[in-house]
Amino acid sequence: MAAREAAPAGEPTAPEQGSRAPGLRERKKRQTATRIWQAAVELFVERGFDKVSVAEIAAAADVSKMTVFNYFGTKEDVLLGPMEEHVADAADAVRERAPGESAAEALRRQLLDLIEARDASVGLSDSPRTIQVLRLVTETPVLLHRAHSFHLRRQQSLAAVLAAETGDAVLAEVAAAQLIGVRNAVFAEVHRRRAAGDPLDQVAADAARLARDAFDLVEKGLSGYAVKA
């Protein structure tokens, strides 16, 4: 999103390929969550986030107000809840990297893979709803604040992994801030251009180039840091 720092956001996602297929109850829960999310996005786009109540979202999704709160703790959660599925992405990529691979290399590889896959979590989607969510977050201060909070938790999660490996919590925080800063800068540019209507493939190509250049820049300062034994 503009500004990452506006946020990656998108529809509630399906289970990854190869994972155990969800049962009927789980599928119905996901369908209900998606219906609530879609109804909320339509109302927010039409009238603005601040002018829509949870009761109105519930009515549009044909559920009770209590059901909305059972699935999403706050009105902000209704829109940005899908982000929570990605809060540990960076930490997981570093934790699971191959021996001999640095943290920066692992995160660069992960980000380039997401860009190549046109992943909605990066903002690279042709879905009109994804673009609408990007614009909503960018234009709504309370949502932009929530997005910033998400990025901080992502950084803290990565710092915890690095600190466990290196034994130095302070340097781990410094490294995590730089590495997440690269991701956020790439996301922000993607979100800005997608919200402006730039072509998806061109934005993706430019994002990949920016990701490579930015990680190269950071690696000059992090050379040799957190190389897995």
pLDDT tens digits along 102-113: 999 999 999 999
pLDDT for the residue numbered 223 = 67
pLDDT for the residue numbered 82 = 77
At residue 47, does pLDDT exceed 50?
Answer: yes
Kindly report, residue by residue over 102-147, the tens digit of the pLDDT. Answer: 999 999 999 999 999 999 888 898 888 888 888 888 889 999 999 8
pLDDT for the residue numbered 197 = 85
What's the CA gap between 108 and 71, in Å, rounded? 34
Q: How confident is the model at residue 163 (pLDDT cuts 50, 70, 90)?
A: very high
What is the average pLDDT value for the chain, to the nearest integer? 87
pTM across the whole model: 0.78
